[in-house]
Amino acid sequence: MSIIAWLLVGIIAGALARLIVPGRDPMGLLGTLVLGLVGSVLGGWLAQVLFDDNSIGIVGATLGAVVVLVIYRVATRGSSRMA
């Protein structure tokens, strides 16, 4: 898969994850892209472990990005109130 395709899948999966999970996220385009790329890797790994399948597509990438976004929110929940 080319780097352009990875970037497109990443931005689409990240944007879909941000639409699916309610609430505000203070991340821009680059954060959304990273969210989608990390979600793609996680979704691909989960598909391999659970279903012995490597072809997850945008659905698996989005589900992985949703999991990453929820973990990110839990990890950063109290960090803005520390001031």
Range 69-76 average pLDDT: 88
Q: How far apart are CA 82 and CA 22, in angstroms?
A: 23
Structural tokens at position 67:
């999991």
Residues 6+ apart with CB under 8 A from 16: 58, 62, 65
- 2-16 per-position pLDDT tens digit: 888 888 888 999 999
Is the pLDDT score of 53 beyond 80?
no
Residue 48, both tokens:
């391999």
CA–CA distance, 16 with 12 (Å, rounded to integer): 6
Residue 1: per-residue pLDDT: 63
Tell me how crowded residue 15 is: count the other CB atoms within 10 A of its CB: 17
